[in-house]
C-alpha cells in the first residue's frame, strides 16, 4: 500500500507545497492507487521534510527520490520514450524549479504585502492551526531565507529571479501541450506542482500575474488536471 504524506490543502489544491503537489500529480498520472494523508508534523519524515512516501515497509523522502522509487518498483513507463537530451533537460528543469521554490516561499512568508493573505487563508481552511504556530514558522522561514540567500534580496529582485525561471519554462514548453510532446512525462507533474501552486492561489503576487499572462502555462495546468480526471480549475 502506498501512502503519501504531505502538507494540508489550500485554495482547492491537494497540497500547499509544490513538491507534495508534484508527487500527487505523478501518482494520479500513473494510476497507482494510494492514500493521501495531510500532516504538519515532520518528525517521521526522512530529513525532517515533507512530502514523504510509505510504500509497504519502505519510507522515502524527497520528491525526486519518491518518483524514482515508484518508477523503478512498479516498472512505470511514463518516461521511457525520452531521449538522452530530454532526460538531461528534465534534470535541468527540476533544478530550475528547486530555485523557483525559494521565490514562491518568499512571496508567501516573507513579503509583508502577501503574508497576511496567505496566513488568513491557512487559518480559514485549517482552524486547528494556531496563530502562534504560524508566527513561529514565519520566523523560522526568515532564517532559512537568510541562509539560502533569497532573504537578502529586495522583493522586486527576488521576483525577477522567479519570473526568469518561469519564462524559461514557458519558452521550453512552447505550444505544448506537454513538455516533451502530446503525452505527459514525469517532468510535467513537476511543472504542474509549481505552476498550479502559483496560478490557483488567490494571492496576486508578481509570480501569479506573470503565469496568468502565459497562455501555454495556463493551458498546461488545465491539460494536466484533465489527465488527472479533474476539472480545469480547483
Residue by residue, pLDDT tens for the chain (234 residues) are 999 999 999 999 999 999 999 999 999 999 999 999 999 888 889 989 999 999 999 999 999 999 999 999 999 999 999 999 999 999 999 999 999 999 999 999 999 999 999 999 999 999 999 999 999 999 999 999 999 999 999 999 999 999 999 999 999 999 999 999 999 999 999 999 999 999 999 999 999 999 999 999 999 999 999 999 999 999
Q: Residue 163 and residue 96: Cα distance in Å, rounded?
A: 11
Is residue 234, in this structure, part of any structural domain at all?
no
66 and 103 fall within a common domain: no
Q: How far is CA 112 from CA 42, 138, 196, in A?
A: 26, 11, 22
Q: What is the predicted pLDDT for the residue at 200?
A: 98
The CA distance from 95 to 14, in Å, is 23
Same domain, 22 and 50: yes
Residue 46 and residue 120 in one domain: no
Question: Do 139 and 170 belong to one domain?
Answer: yes
| Domain closes at, from 40, 73, 106 | 73
The verdict on 46 and 88 lying in the same domain is: no
Q: What confidence score (pLDDT) does residue 44 get?
A: 87
For residue 47, is it within any domain?
yes
- Of 73, 99, 114, the position where a domain reaches its end is 73
Q: How many domains, in total, are found in the chain?
A: 2
Neighbours of 195 (CB within 10 A): 26
Residues 9 and 103 in one domain: no
Together in a domain, 34 and 91: no
Cell reading at 231:
476539472
Q: Residues 218, 120: one domain?
A: yes
Residues 142, 60 share a domain = no
Structural domain range at position 194: 84-227
pLDDT at residue 154, rounded to an integer: 96
What pLDDT, on a 0 to 100 scale, did the predictor assign at position 41? 86
Per the domain annotation, does 79 fall within a domain?
no
- Assess if residue 78 is contained within a domain: no
H or E stretch at 36: strand 35-38
Shared domain for 56 and 7, answered yes or no, is: yes
Find the Cα–Cα–Cα–Cα dihedral 133, 44, 94, 143, rounded to 10°. Answer: 40
Amino acid at each position: 500500500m502506498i501512502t503519501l504524506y504531505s502538507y494540508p490543502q489550500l485554495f482547492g489544491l491537494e497540497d500547499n507545497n509544490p513538491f507534495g503537489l508534484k508527487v500527487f500529480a505523478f501518482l494520479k498520472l500513473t494510476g497507482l492507487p494510494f492514500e493521501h494523508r495531510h500532516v504538519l508534523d515532520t518528525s517521521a519524515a526522512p530529513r525532517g521534510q515533507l512530502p514523504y512516501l510509505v510504500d509497504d515497509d519502505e519510507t522515502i523522502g524527497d520528491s525526486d527520490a519518491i518518483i524514482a522509487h515508484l518508477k523503478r518498483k512498479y516498472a512505470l513507463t511514463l518516461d521511457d520514450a525520452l531521449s538522452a537530451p530530454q532526460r538531461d533537460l528534465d534534470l535541468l528543469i527540476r533544478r530550475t524549479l528547486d530555485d523557483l521554490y525559494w521565490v514562491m516561499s518568499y512571496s508567501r512568508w516573507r513579503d509583508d504585502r502577501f503574508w497576511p493573505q496567505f496566513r488568513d487563508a491557512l487559518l480559514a481552511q485549517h482552524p486547528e492551526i494556531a496563530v502562534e504556530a504560524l508566527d513561529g514558522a514565519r520566523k523560522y522561514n526568515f532564517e532559512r531565507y537568510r541562509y539560502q540567500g533569497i532573504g537578502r534580496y529586495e522583493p522586486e529582485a527576488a521576483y525577477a529571479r522567479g519570473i526568469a525561471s518561469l519564462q524559461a519554462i514557458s519558452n521550453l514548453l512552447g505550444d505544448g501541450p506537454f513538455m516533451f510532446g502530446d503525452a505527459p512525462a514525469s517532468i510535467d507533474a513537476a511543472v504542474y506542482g509549481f505552476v498550479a501552486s502559483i496560478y490557483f492561489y488567490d494571492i496576486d503576487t508578481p509570480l501569479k500575474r506573470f503565469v496568468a499572462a502565459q497562455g501555454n502555462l495556463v493551458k498546461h495546468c488545465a491539460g494536466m488536471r484533465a489527465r488527472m480526471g479533474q476539472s480545469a480549475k480547483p
